[in-house]
Chain A
């Protein structure tokens, strides 16, 4: 057995290297390699999407008996072609942490007590009823996740919006991609990227906008590097606020001052027009020009509200607007030299070059998140570099199903699985499919995430059910929201797989199934829906988040809306949900197709996936007789926006003289609740740190590993300094990863957000530093 097992592992090790070689050097041959298939008899491989990031790599989970023992990249998945990153390879170990939550717990006389899960579900249902009776339907809420499976989000929305009649449904994806959504909606009238990952191999130039892809989307980044090696003439430019592994691997690294990407994007457009690099045929046929309100605020006060007022403008007016953004003027604002601005403009402007822009949290977690998306779309629209292979403005997603669940199912306060609550036609569709009275669905959105937690603190919300997320680590200005959760007469339910700072504030804890312990579906960054089976038995009383919601819904009397059996519910839910998207613009693949394949892209029309939307050659939803059709907008045109540069909500001053930026590291997934329980990942990155510029460190008298106190107007934290580590911030700024619950950096951050998307800005606030 030992010999077999070792030779199997050696065979798997060799296969992994061969697959990697094949992906990096296409056509490479290893004639001497003989497969040692016979040795692998005891391991059974089953497909799934990776549990972690929004790249959506396909993995094969190796099962030995009923235990998952190994992972390898799925060679049939076009996303990763057999590759995986360090998190993906270790994902199965995250199932087996020693302190896995296996039993339900209910707070009794101030103490958490283990109870049968049915009792905990009874308590939840009773509390929902009691709270609604006392405080009204909008006093109960659901806070979910971009790591919810699609069925999880769908049943949550159906229960809360359709049955209970409250729009108090939000998800942590508000913190990660809401600006991407409003960017798409304002520029194109429809959400999600027009391109796909094949743009990587087709592009001649790739520009990362505030996006450390080498660590955050490592498999995609390796595809970029492989393409550069293969084609020789590929240029990668990293445009960022700190030097990272991405900058080091790029052909050129350009640093800008926080929030001034707005000014630089406008300067690039100024240069494109000045040099007449505009694709006039495209611009005339497929775009219109617009402006909106300015000085739009930052949302730091309770009950903040904002509504934009779009106005049409002419091209000449747009050109005049750009005169404030000459490269020389923008150099003074942004710290980017006029030469570098002109260089970037020349790459976008060269008609011979295909250009793809990538971004993720740097542009999303931004107090002008919607605007910066508009401005990067402007660059691609002015040059006509959009919706064709290699020409793509590509908004990447952080979480495995932020697109699939939150954006497509619509688990945000204003959204429905199709359309928005404000639209009567959309409400009618939902009421019909959900089999609820139309009057149940409230036409008024309630609270976006930050405001939902403020409402909990104020007492407007009394009950919150949190699933698959850890807001007591991730909410900005955390102290206020943690204290809010702990107030008397607040009731918090948390469904999770491990104890976290969020389960610490819970009144009921439900042990959840994790990843491949349940059947489910995710949707990744490139409109790809990925099905996975339940292939590992869950421990103890663990139950899928979907089934938890169904159980509570039935206890509340909604058996008719949630009638499915335990052996069929995922397939049935998928087919019901698919009815919302029954059109060539968004048709989803049937359940049977998804079960078979390693992911299918939508729109899935007549058995075919759509790679490039809005391009008549590729997208069956386009009007015939035109090359492009931006059908999200009524007139079929994409919008070019005049959006100005405005500064961050809080910038360094004499008292708080440093910028603070937060983010992730390659080893850990989000708040680390899973990856910190994987020994290799934990040992590789055991604790968080603060990255300092070496000269700032010298001024402070701090050496590598010494303690630094980071102080903001909200709170402070002491942590070890990292100097010349994997990332180096410019002078006057620091960077802190947020994966470590022992260092709650969000007690320091600010809850300012983009007034249009309501997504908080975790990348910019002012702090001062002291040697601790």
Chain B
């Protein structure tokens, strides 16, 4: 059974999830995001990722260096599509942590989610 989720999360710790709302689609807060992942196995997720000003190339490099990430950069806007495919919950959690801590990343918005049962 597919589980498809579409949520917003923000890269900044403890931030108001609305602070970059104008770049995002549909919101769930960080707490709700956690619920959404609970119990999910082998999640595949996709995101729109926006770099910090002038950090597009750096962000592409940073993301490509992380395991389980597929990076599709736009060639005419500072926007990256990121698809992640993790084998289990723990890897997913580690990946989330890495993403959150990338200095080149400004915001990340989920657009699709699935976790196999």
Contacts and interface: CB of A to CB of B under 8 A. Distances in A.
B62 to A, nearest CB: 17
A6 B85 contact: yes
A18 B21 contact: no
A16 B72 CA distance: 13
B81 A21 contact: yes
A90 interface: yes
B35 A17 contact: no
A29 B76 contact: yes
Contacts of B25: 20, 24, 83, 85, 218-219, 222
Interface in B28-64: 28-29, 32, 35-36, 38-39, 42, 44-48
Nearest to A84: B6
B32 A685 contact: yes
Given A25-B79, A70-B4, A684 B28 contact: yes
A719 B46 CA distance: 36
Nearest to B3: A680
A24 B81 CA distance: 13
A9 B41 CA distance: 14
B81 A30 contact: yes
Given A9-B114, A12-B112, A17-B111, A85 B26 contact: yes
B27 interface: yes
B75 A30 contact: yes
Contacts of B113: 13, 89
Contact of B26 (A9, A72, A219): A219
Nearest to A34: B72
A222 B23 CA distance: 9
Nearest to A67: B1
Contact of B73 (A30, A84, A85): A30
A28 interface: yes
A85 B6 contact: yes
Contact of B48 (A21, A27, A72, A245): A21
Given A9-B114, A27-B76, A32-B75, A90 B28 contact: no
B77 A32 contact: no
A33 B72 contact: yes
Contact of A17 (B2, B32, B38, B46): B46
Contacts of A16: 6, 46, 111-112
B48 A248 contact: no
B45 A13 contact: yes
B83 interface: yes
Which bucket holds chain B's interface residue count? 35 or more
Nearest to B27: A245
Given A30-B72, A222-B26, A18 B112 contact: no
A684 B48 contact: no
Interface string B87-117: 0000000000000000000000101111000
Given A14-B81, A70-B114, A83-B25, A62 B16 contact: no
Interface in A15-51: 16-21, 24-25, 27-33
Contacts of B85: 6, 10
Contacts of A70: 2, 4, 114
B14 interface: no
Given A32-B73, A228-B22, A666-B27, A90 B79 contact: no
A690 to B, nearest CB: 18
Contact of B18 (A12, A245, A685): A245
A730 B44 CA distance: 41
The 10 closest A-B pairs by CB, nearest first: A13-B46, A16-B112, A17-B46, A248-B18, A683-B35, A17-B81, A13-B112, A17-B111, A249-B21, A89-B4
Interface of A: 6, 9-10, 12-14, 16-21, 24-25, 27-33, 62, 69-72, 83-86, 89-90, 93, 96, 214, 218-219, 222, 225, 228-229, 245, 248-249, 666-667, 679-680, 683-685, 726
25 contacts: A10-B85, A12-B112, A13-B45, A13-B46, A14-B72, A14-B83, A16-B6, A18-B72, A21-B48, A21-B79, A25-B74, A29-B74, A29-B75, A71-B4, A72-B4, A83-B26, A89-B4, A90-B5, A96-B1, A225-B21, A248-B18, A680-B5, A683-B36, A684-B36, A726-B29
